Structure 1
Amino acid sequence: MEHLTHLADPQTIRQSLKAVIQLAEQYKKENGRIPVLMEVCGSHTMAFAKSGIKTILKDHVQLIAGPGCPVCVTDQKSIDAMIELSKDKNRILCTFGDMMRVPGSRFSLMDAKTEGKDIRVVYSPLDSIKIAQENPHKEVIFLGIGFETTIPVLAVTVQEAEKQALTNYSIWMSTKLVEPVLRELLNSKEINIDGFLLPGHVSVVTGKNNYNFLAEDFLISGVISGFEPIELLRGIYKLLHLLLNNKIDIINDYTYMVKNEGNRVAKKLMEHYFDYHDEAWRGIGVIPKSSLILKESYAQFDAQKKFHVSLSEPRKTKCRCGEIIRGMITPEECVLFNKGCTPLRPIGPCMVSTEGTCAAHYHYMREE
């Protein structure tokens, strides 16, 4: 409790802000520009906006939101596929709440539900197992999105489906992995990044050592951070300190949750049930081995193998979520932001998700 109280202490937060600004000004003096840091995690993006840190530091540190929102990076075709699957009255679709309002090519899952399709919001993938047990004469399909934080839960869900000998249950796998997308961003050289604020939740599973490739292959530093304002500021401070001292390192600043090797039990579950797979990312394209799909021995639970869905190419709009996800532009640079695209009438997923960059800017950084 004492630790949590310290994290919320206003005086400590003000002192931390002052220390970060001093280092940032020193960096600007030495390099002729402000430092550019990317927060990979969608929860970090929302925390930076809600706390006011991003606004306060905007003239000192450029904080870029990265591709860490699982809803935002889910390919539009996955949404279209779920809507198509829902057309059969003998099917029940299950998904997380954030996915309901994400626009597909023509409709959202919420639109399909309004038209009478059986689409249900669950808080955990395991809830969909219970629905399958209660509806033995219907096919139950769960939309399996998420990063390494969620994937172990999907593994446990398959384990439970196997244990219950369910024949009417499957998962439409559309998972994402952090390392491949960071490699893709750095190899593309579309933006200049001086350092990464690395995701806290994902790192609990993957561990600190999962990011050694940043230092070894790209000569760039990263700090794994928590989510409280002081933790976020401390992460920025440590990155700036590394930059000013010309040092390259991966620092775990979330030690009370993250270990070097990660969660071995969760990783073992993933290795048992899943194989690597090339995956399409919204606004980025197909990234090799950036996803996990069910192994052939568990194909009976793989909705993409169980059902055939014919899809056309997604309809194009003026939505610039793809560029926002890649850190190339801010939401304010999109012509639709706060005009045609709002939380009530979203056009892109970045405005829908509770971890979306556009939603963060709309709720906490929008200029009236």
Structure 2
Amino acid sequence: MTDIQVYLKTYDGPPLRLMEVCGTHTAQISRCGIAGMLSPAIRLISGPGCPVCVTVTAYIDRLVALCMEPENVVVSFGDMLRVPGSSQSLNDAKAAGGHVEMVYSPLDTLKLAANDPGRTYIFAAVGFETTAPVYAMLLEEAVARGISNVKILTSLKTMPPVIDWICQNQGGVDGFLAPGHVSVITGSNIFQPLSEKYGLPFAVAGFEGPQILAAIYALVRKRGSACVMNLYPGAVTKEGNQTAQKMVEKYFSPCDASWRGMGIIPDSGLLLREEYSRFDAGSKNLNGDHGANAHCRCAQVLTGAISPNECPLFGSACTPQTPQGACMVSMEGSCFNYFTNMRKRS
């Protein structure tokens, strides 16, 4: 064992709750068994870092309605197809005759639309600061190539406001494992105001097991202090990717956004600017958040209030084959990763 592993395994200081707010971190922590390498006094909790998981039911319902219109085709990543809406998923709608295409890149939508000018191709634009530049590139290309039958339905979120919400409303977090992918775009400085406001440490981490352990170690050592530590310097700078930031600013502006289980958080989303509203497929006011199964507790899982295995549906009614909520659908979802990696503790 390394010195870091020994320290974390034998730590006997004040109990700590450390939140990772990146779905990729959640997945890697589960795959590597990192929770089992820590002292019982250190508890890892998952936060709202899976973009599919935090997307509200009304958004899914809007996609379902759009794909059932004969002039539309909804285009999406694969994990979105299985997320339950209030009554149907996109897969259910496709089986009922809806027009749905799965792609691996949003830019694939351009080829589909160019080859079928008689229908409108609507991409399900879900994500955080990481993917927003890609959607801006999609629109940039559509404009440059004169492809007018492309639209997006946005459910784009930004990280700092939801972390602020967690600190204000949920509380009980002693440090944050800051999202590495988001930080590549935004820069690590974006977390400094939150760190100072709440007196908490933030550690920007990479995605290998040793990198995550090093970030946890840094958070434990800096407990009770306000600081932002960049432990992913090969990819993250203080200022971030300013070219990508400018591209996003060209097409999107901040807006209030609805988060699963958290309601509407001011200035926590991105919406197309008015001059590009012709590309919007009806993204405003998608606030409904009522899942098909009232016993699903994804909302509490996303805010760190409970662990996935504390949900009464976990592992019985709700499995990756029969998901009752978004957290069991996405490969970045906490419930999916707890289940597939047989994770027992936080």
For residue 360 of structure 1, what is the aligned residue in structure 2?
337
Asked if the contact 1:55–1:365 (Cα under 8 Å) also holds between the matched residues in 2, the reply is: no
Pair 59,111 (structure 1): closer, same or farther in 2 beyond 3 Å: same
Alignment of 1:201-220 (within 5 A): 201-220=181-200
Deviation at 1:18, TM superposition (A): 1.1
Residues 51-78 of structure 1: per-residue CA shift (max 9 Å, x gap): 0111332613100000000000011110
Task: Give unpaired runs (5+ residues) of structure 1.
Answer: 1-10
Counterpart check, 1:332 vs 2:309:
yes
Of 99, 114, 132 in structure 1, the residue corresponding to residue 95 of structure 2 is 114
Q: Is the 8 A contact 1:21 1:60 kept in 2?
A: no
User: Which of 37, 44, 55 is equivalent to 1:63?
Assistant: 44
TM value normalised by structure 2: 0.95
Q: CA deviation at 1:138?
A: 0.4
Query: Does the CA-based 8 Å contact 2:83-2:329 persist in structure 1?
Result: yes
Q: Secondary structure at the match of 1:280?
A: strand
**Cα distance 1:309–1:219, how it changes in 2: closer, same or farther (>3 A)?**
closer
Q: Secondary structure at the match of 1:73?
A: coil
**2-structure distance, mates of 1:37, 1:199:** 13
Cα offset, 1:235, TM superposition:
0.2
Q: Within 5 Å, which residues of 2 pair with 1:138-287?
A: 138-188=119-169, 190-243=170-223, 246-287=224-265
Shift of 1:166: 2.0
Residue in structure 2 matched with residue 16 of structure 1 by the alignment: 4
Say whether the 8 Å CA contact 2:8–2:39 is kept in structure 1.
Answer: no
Deviations along 1:4-40, one digit per CA (max 9) or x if unpaired, are xxxxxxx5xx543212224x32x2xxx3xx2110001
What residue ranges of structure 2 are gaps of 5+ in the alignment? Answer: none
User: Does structure 1 retain, via aligned residues, the 8 Å contact 2:260–2:289?
Assistant: no
Q: Which has the larger radius of gyration?
A: 1
Question: Greater CA deviation, 259-268 or 215-224?
Answer: 215-224
Give the aligned residue type for 2:8. V
Deviation for aligned residue 1:351 = 0.4
Residue 313 of structure 1: how far off its partner (Å) = 6.1
**SS of 1:82's equivalent?**
helix
Residue 342 of structure 1 aligns with which residue? 319
- C-alpha separation in 1, matches of 2:311 and 2:248: 38
RMSD: 1.9
In 1, Cα distance between equivalents of 2:127 and 2:239: 21
CA 1:365–1:225 in structure 2 vs 1: closer, same or farther (change >3 Å)? same
Instruction: Determine the structure 2 residue equivalent to 1:5.
Output: none
2: distance between equivalents of 1:335 and 1:120?
A: 34
Q: Distance in 2 between matches of 1:132 and 1:275?
A: 26
Looking at structure 2, the residues matched to 16 and 43 of structure 1 have their Cα atoms a distance apart, in angstroms, of 22
Residue 35 of structure 1 is aligned with which of 4, 10, 16? 16
Preserved CA contact (<8 Å) 2:123 2:152: yes
SS of the residue corresponding to residue 125 of structure 1 reads coil
- Whether 1:82 and 2:63 are equivalent positions in the alignment is yes
